[in-house]
Amino acid sequence: MKIRQFCESDRSDLIKLWHAVFPDDPSHNEPSKVIEAKLAIDNLIFIAEHEGLIIGACMAGYDGHRGWLYAVAVCNEQRRSGVGSALVQHAIQALKVMGCIKVNLQIRATNTEVTTFYKSLGFIIEERLSMGTFIG
């Protein structure tokens, strides 16, 4: 397995992966829109590739204060094989190089099974209330 930065030729396969892994995502998380918006800012999209196929992906963000992980996805056939852990660790290292000292992520309340995965990587549950508003 190789982890590398996203390149334009990955677009259609990444969109397919995110649709498969997050089938009921709301429309504002449409992968094609997310990729465009992210690339307008930076290219902190990481791809896990095996034998020429995209088997996982992770998007990271850094605002100069906190780092974030988004859309960590591994294809069903490769789950529990270390792909997700490697992607998260790769993204964290990239953020660390940028000066980031803390990484956050959000998990849907209904996706509690992934909590164990993130705890195994050193993440802890913080008592926070997540809020948001659509402005566009």
Helix (H, G, I), strand (E, B) or coil at 28: helix
Tokens of 88: 């998260």
The predicted model scores a pTM of 0.92
Q: Structural domain boundaries of the chain? A: 2-120
Q: Scan for tokens 């034998």, then name that residue.
A: 51
Among residues of the chain, what percentage have pLDDT more than 90? 82
Range 106-110 contact pairs with CB under 8 angstroms and sequence separation of 24 or more: 106/130
Highest mean pLDDT among 2-16, 23-37, 71-85, 103-117: 2-16
CATH topology of domain 2-120: Aminopeptidase (3.40.630)
Q: How do residues 26-53 score in pLDDT, each as one tens digit?
A: 889 999 999 999 999 999 999 999 999 9
CA 32 to chain centroid, in Å, comes to 15
